[in-house]
Chains A and B, each alone.
Chain A
Amino acid sequence: MASPSEAAAGSDGEAQAVFRGITDDVSRVALNPTPKWWWPAFGVSNLMLLCLVVSLYHLFTTGIGVWGNNNIQGWAWDITNFVFWIGIGHAGTLISAVLYLFRQDWRTSINRSAEAMTIFAVAAAGIFPIIHTGRPWFAWWMIPHPNDMGMWPQFRSPLMWDVFAISTYATTSILFWYMGMVPDLATLRDRAKERWKQVGYGLLALGWRGSARQWHRYERAYLILAALSTPLVLSVHSVVSFDFATSQNPGWHTTIFPPYFVAGAIFSGFAMVATLLVPLRHLCGLKHIIKESHIEAMCKIMIATGLMVGGAYGIEIFIAWYSGNAGEWFTFRNRVLGEYSWAYFAMVSCNVLVPQFFWIRKCRTNPWIVVGLCILINVGMWFERFVIIATSLARQAMPGMWGYFSPTRWDVLTFIGSFGLFFTLFLLFARFLPVIAMAEVKAVSPEAHAGKDHH
């Protein structure tokens, strides 16, 4: 792959102008004065973040009892939110790593913001495993370390696997995101007018000069990280699904969960990327970089993954019946027909029916429709996790302990708060960091290949 500096040096004036255009447009977002739409958006997401702070204070001082969790449904919205956010955090790595390895050039316009979104989603997800514990101040016991109790964590527990899967994923994603950003940070540094911005971006750019040697190492490191992250796309949500799949509960104990969860995660991840990027490309004037065809490509992926998820719903029910396991069969009948049928049908209609609209071209190109459908898909994916967790636990083997989960206002506030955290981080990113991988976009733009062959 040609590095942009080489390409720029060797191409004709027209190509240079295009490259400068890209740089101008992307840098403008970070360097120009704050646009008008940003402050209200930031204010609202800060208010939501405040909900998180308040609800966490109440949670830590009072106990898990502020939520609706109970002795029948030990997990409810807390783990639902966790799996929901972790799922969303899948698109970034998929776009960055897997599509990179498959040389899908259209990824370059969205990969930076998708990665950022991944990291913020993982941050929003990562708080739940800690805050959902009854004594979060002892959560560090899950990290293996020598101690005066002579105790180690139990590695048979899927929750332990989660600890490693998620921390590895978070670390790799952050490295990947940051490393990919270094050349663009250097660009911002060079274009910044104020001294504090120059120094700030300069520190973050780690002394990037754009020399051939630096480019060479950069590309190598990027490839290695991409290769390292690829298995993570599959592993993280597989491990998360083990939380359920390795239990003995009917409705959880299912071998289909790992692929089903991964497909669902990519599904919801793309839905969230589209939800964020479609408005962003309008607001930041990046329509010529994040092209319509890119949005369409994402919609097509959503059709594919939506069908996979729909297939999984069908297989689940079929296997529940076919297995002859009475408990399993009841759990699924109850899921569809019982007290939680509203949640089940919300899930099916949002996840299976809604993406079918993307077969229609107009639904893929009209930004309003795309965002609307993507939000519905995200709602559906939240319900999917809720259905798995709450309906399965509601009616287990002992009818003497059957129950129904009702959320409290603190459940709702915590959930809203996690959105606050996510949006606040994303808005900060959109304001101060290069939202699009300029270097990569230039490398794959037709002008880069117009001159002599640089490969």
Chain B
Amino acid sequence: MYGGISIIELLAMLLGDDTPADELVAKTYAESGAGGTWRAALHDGFVDRTQLPRAAVQAGGGGGAALTATAAGGSGAQNGNLEVTFLPSSQTYDGRFANNPWLQETPDFLTKVTWDNVALISPDTADALGVSSQDVVRIKVGDRALDIVALVMPGQARGSIGVILGGGRTRAGRVGNKQREWVGGGFDAYKLRTSAGLDFVTGATVSRTGTRYKIATTQEHHDIRRGFSISATIGDKEIQKKLPDLVRETDRAGFADVAYKAEKTHPYYHDHEHGRGYSLYKEQTYDGRRWAMAIDLGNCMGCNACVVACQAENNVPVVGKREVTRNREMSWLRIDRYFRGDLNDPEVVGQPVACQHCENAPCETVCPVGATLHSSEGLNDMVYNRCVGTRYCLNNCPYRVRRFNFVDYHQEFNDARNNVRKLLFNPDVTVRERGVMEKCTYCVQRIQAAKIKAKNPAPHGAGERGPIADGTITTACQAACPTEAIVFGDLSDPESRVSKLHGDRRQYELLGELNDKPRTRFLARVRNPNPELAPAGKPAGHH
């Protein structure tokens, strides 16, 4: 596109061979003797019969000695003797992907920080050092020093500073370069890293520099903001109270009880006979397909693959650091991460949240122009081109999954002849203009394509309207999920995987007390912690 040449072309040229790269690859492939042609392998996405042999593994008995609370909680070393560990970034790895805005804006699994790399300090250590989040601190190890922004991170080992690598690059490209505070780019953590201590160094001194640096996080904007409030902990207390309801969990003993059900009857339900609330409006009935999703929290490990997949599939814009600090990140799918218990040694619970496609959707009744309506198959359709942008739907969504185009985030690609645009966008999904609302659609473009194809005559389709085999349609997040935590399908087919999961005793509705009847159901997580790893003073499986 930019008239560049690839590495293999360059190497071949140096050898006096100016064959184009694709031919070189095809030639190498043919010589490798893998069978078939390169094009066929490319089309299939894999080369048949090249999988590795299955390994036979057996869990070894015993294991190391139990970690004590002190060991698990860190050394608690004093300033001047702090440990610094170097951690790869979940976004840019060691910095090599710094020029990829999708990754820069994908929130880190635990810190939820975007666009920067930070130094993680445990709450206790931060108190001892007098450091709070967004303070720029100077970390000194020997004669080397690094100025980096601090983030107080629950669960970080006491007395240990976790410095994330990958920021502060100067020649990464337009996106990845270190830039002004509002644009991000991070700090060059390699200043501290020498061959003497590639993974960690000790004897570090941390001091505040007195300057502040804005960190863009997608969660807990309130925690890192210094504000006036009478009760600073009112929010945290509420979160702890809500957590068992939002992210339901049980342990092995709880799950072994055959009466265990994650779904609860809610005190606000009036219609006790059916265990449901009444709706003000006549509820829609469905006689055909009913699309639904199930998310198994037991499988979800919060890896963000779904988040990036969704962004790629649905033309979700990258908005940049300044917009993230204003809570305007556009990602349709977010992974909420909560800390439970003692902030110095918390348990982490995560939960992917996208549009729940409520059957009684609160967003639908409030739109003055009918830009978001229910489909006959139970999808909560969002019609971008009808939206005038009152944002009432956003306000009325209890799950807060709607995303508004506050400015023209695709401005750079408005010209139809832009070559990046041709490659960047999924042609089956509308590119949204400024001033319209958007949200997860259950990848409706994939659903429609599958429906049309199923009905088209042979050889391209079945030729008549029939059931779409379970598993034919995968949403982008589902396809990307490495643990198959996300399952999508048709509820009208009792044999579909999603139907079975919706009937599972671990299933529950998020905020079910609102009687929104979400089509996405969660499956409660069953925890089974190793008692030998359990921190002292906290019995295993206690919640």
Contacts and interface: CB of A to CB of B under 8 A. Distances in A.
A and B touch in the complex (CB under 8 A): yes
B326 A158 contact: no
Contacts of A259: none
A402 B351 CA distance: 15
B435 A64 contact: yes
B222 to A, nearest CB: 6
Contacts of B535: none
A154 B336 contact: no
A71 B368 contact: no
Contacts, number: 203
A133 B234 contact: no
Interface string B212-247: 000000011110010111110011001101100010
Contacts of B267: 324
A402 B230 contact: no
A71 B229 contact: no
A65 B317 CA distance: 15
Interface string A148-190: 0101111011111001000000000000000000000000000
B368 A157 contact: yes
A206 interface: no
B182 interface: no
B388 A135 contact: yes
B511 interface: yes
B396 A163 contact: no
A159 B366 contact: yes
Contact of A139 (B228, B388, B395): B388
Interface residues on B, range: 35 or more
Contacts of A337: 229-231, 234
A151 to B, nearest CB: 7
B394 A74 contact: yes
Nearest to B338: A399
A404 B231 contact: no
Given A74-B391, A399-B242, A142 B234 contact: no
Nearest to B399: A398
Contact of B433 (A135, A157, A243): A135
Contacts of A85: none
Interface string B383-406: 000111111101110111011111
B284 interface: no
Interface string A114-156: 0000000000000000001111101101100000010111101
A162 to B, nearest CB: 8
Given A248-B396, A324-B267, A64 B230 contact: no
Contacts of A159: 366-368, 390, 392
Interface stretch (A372-380, A389-397, A421-429): A389-397
Contact of B227 (A75, A339, A400): A339
Nearest to B228: A342
Nearest to A342: B228
Contacts of A156: 281, 365-366
Contacts of B405: 63, 134
A46 interface: no
B221 A153 contact: no
Contacts of B433: 135
B312 interface: no
Given A68-B326, A157-B368, A160-B368, A330 B228 contact: no
A157 B388 contact: no
A279 interface: no
A336 B230 contact: yes
A65 B392 CA distance: 16
Nearest to A158: B366
Contacts of A133: 388-390, 435
A399 B221 contact: no
Contacts of A139: 388
Contact of B353 (A71, A135, A398, A404): A398
A397 B243 CA distance: 11
Contacts of A151: 369-370, 386
A247 interface: yes
A343 to B, nearest CB: 10
Given A247-B362, A398-B398, A399-B238, A71 B403 contact: yes
B222 A402 contact: yes
Contacts of A396: 398, 400
Contacts of A142: 368-369, 388
A138 B384 CA distance: 12
Contact of A134 (B281, B370, B391): B391
A157 B367 contact: yes
Given A134-B434, A135-B436, A249 B407 contact: no
B407 A404 contact: no
A401 interface: yes
Interface stretch (B149-157, B162-170, B327-335): B327-335
A75 B396 CA distance: 11
B400 A398 contact: yes
B228 A64 contact: no
Interface string A53-94: 000000000111110111111110000000000000000000
Given A135-B435, A159-B366, A247-B362, A63 B406 contact: yes
A209 interface: no
Interface in B389-429: 389-392, 394-396, 398-400, 402-408
B239 A71 contact: no
A134 B388 contact: yes
A69 B227 CA distance: 19
Nearest to A400: B336
A403 interface: yes
A374 B220 CA distance: 39
B485 interface: no
Contact of B387 (A63, A135, A401): A135
Given A63-B406, A71-B402, A74-B392, A334 B238 contact: yes
A156 B362 CA distance: 11
B407 A63 contact: yes
B526 interface: no
Given A63-B407, A69-B406, A338-B235, 15 more contacts: A62-B407, A64-B406, A64-B407, A69-B404, A134-B436, A136-B388, A141-B386, A151-B370, A151-B386, A157-B365, A159-B366, A334-B235, A398-B353, A402-B220, A402-B222
- 9 smallest A-B Cβ distances: which pairs? A134-B389, A134-B435, A400-B336, A65-B406, A74-B391, A401-B400, A65-B407, A70-B327, A74-B394
19 contacts: A63-B407, A64-B391, A64-B407, A71-B328, A73-B395, A74-B391, A132-B390, A134-B434, A138-B369, A157-B392, A159-B392, A247-B395, A337-B231, A396-B400, A397-B400, A398-B398, A403-B327, A404-B221, A404-B227
